[in-house]
Amino acid sequence: MTRGNQRELAREKAQKKAVAAGKGKPKESAASLQARKERDAAILREKQKKKEEEKAAGDAGGKGK
């Protein structure tokens, strides 16, 4: 093993890179995370309701495959 500490240097370099990459995005607080989840859930419920209405309208129109 003539390469000595090459593995350790590579590990340190990778760790520094990971730390630098993590600095760019701030963590989300619990309150904002909960608010985002509720907002997303409301949007999905509306989409589902719209799809169900379209399906019901399609079934009532007699369009069957």
What pLDDT is recorded for position 36?
92
pLDDT in tens, 3-62: 778 988 999 999 988 887 776 666 778 888 899 999 999 999 999 999 999 999 888 776
What pLDDT is recorded for position 49?
96
pTM greater than the 0.75 cutoff: no
Whole-number Å distance between alpha carbons of 30 and 33: 5
Angle at CA of residue 39, ends 48 and 37, nearest 5°? 100
**Mean pLDDT (the chain, rounded):** 84
What pLDDT is recorded for position 54?
92
